A = this chain, B = another copy of it.
Amino acid sequence: MRRDRDFEHAYAVIMAGGSGTRFWPLSRLRRPKQLLNLLGERTLLAETVARVLPVIPAERIYVFTNDLLRAQVVRCLPQLPKNQIVAEPAARNTAPTIGLAAHEILRRDPEGLMVVLPSDHVIRKPGAFRRMLRAACRWAVVDGRSVILGLEPTRPDTGYGYVRKGLRVARVVGQPIYQVENFTEKPPLATARRYLASRRYLWNGGMFIWQASTLLRNLARTKREMARGLERIAQAGGVRATRTLRRIFPRLEKISIDYAVMEKAPDVFVVAADIGWSDVGSWAVVYDLQAKDSEGNVRPRASLCLNARGNIIVSPRKFVVAVDVRDLVIVETADALLVAARERSQDVGKAVQELERRGLVELL
């Protein structure tokens, strides 16, 4: 795909400061999910960058992470200019980060178009993703518009945000674009079921496209104080003004861009992106996405399964033998071992909370 006019002003803003617990013991505080190669050779973060590189060049890609991870992120992304890999001085959720990024982009390009992307999701159709991105950029290039790449729900998940499709306003690059009627964060199960059945809702996967100026204008309207703080950082030199950044940023309101801006902004649109998306929320999902042996096991070469089915085994160090076991997650690292029921693998997070409660910090 050529770097054409649709992407002329596009900047990628990749959010890589997150931490999670559901991939313990592989994921740790110092090695969260985006830095794991759960599904291939490259980390999810490296995949995210590789996915946009055909349409947005490295000099227009920003990655926001934290102090703990920055060195690893830099190593993981040698193709990016180091000064575009920014460590936030504190975790303030997505709104302050995106505001900071908007100032950064605006400084370089008054017409700068922001493409906000999470770094720990999987997109199995990168071509379709870039086509969607083109559609979204073409639509968002008009001042004042915000676009969400929405995902068609496949189950009544209660952990996601839902976006209600309103009026169908256009068709861009073959895709219908809808006005957003409203947002619902993490609905109860009955509601989620209703949403799914209605076919009028899309999942919000945290992928946004808008002009940097649009975002800042919307933010100033809804979060005046945050906007003012970000303004002061920008005037001092933005992400390069380390002292100002460290002083002001940690005091900005800790809030997601969804709550801070999206739910109240005018001209928010959504497009259904059929891009093979998954947020890879648990070991069970990793199992689903991987190639399996004839007994339905995902496992390394150095393993033996005897009457064992449906297991996922991750063990780079040891030979693993599984005998007469079903649907397990077996993950071994240098200092820890997890054995969990695959269908309950989201509970791994609870186990990690318990480790934390017991003060077993070296295991976190």
Contacts and interface: CB of A to CB of B under 8 A. Distances in A.
B336 A304 contact: no
A315 B358 CA distance: 19
Interface in A308-335: 315, 317-325, 328, 330, 332-333, 335
Nearest to A335: B318
A332 B320 CA distance: 9
Of the four ranges (under 10, 10 to 19, 20 to 34, 35 or more), the interface on chain A belongs to 35 or more
A206 to B, nearest CB: 27
Contacts of A348: 321, 323
Contacts of A328: 325, 328, 339
Contacts of A320: 336-339
A186 interface: no
A335 B320 CA distance: 9
A332 B337 contact: yes
A319 B335 contact: yes
A171 interface: no
Interface of A: 24-25, 304, 306-307, 315, 317-325, 328, 330, 332-333, 335-341, 344-345, 347-348, 350-351, 354-355, 358, 360, 363
**The 4 A-B residue pairs with the shortest CB-CB distance in the complex, in nearest-first order:** A323-B340, A324-B341, A324-B344, A320-B337
Given A324-B344, A325-B341, A328-B339, 11 more contacts: A306-B351, A306-B354, A318-B335, A319-B363, A320-B338, A321-B338, A321-B340, A323-B344, A325-B339, A330-B339, A339-B339
24 contacts: A304-B354, A304-B355, A304-B358, A307-B347, A318-B332, A318-B333, A319-B336, A319-B337, A320-B337, A320-B339, A321-B337, A321-B338, A321-B351, A321-B355, A322-B338, A323-B338, A323-B339, A323-B340, A323-B345, A323-B348, A323-B350, A324-B340, A325-B328, A325-B340
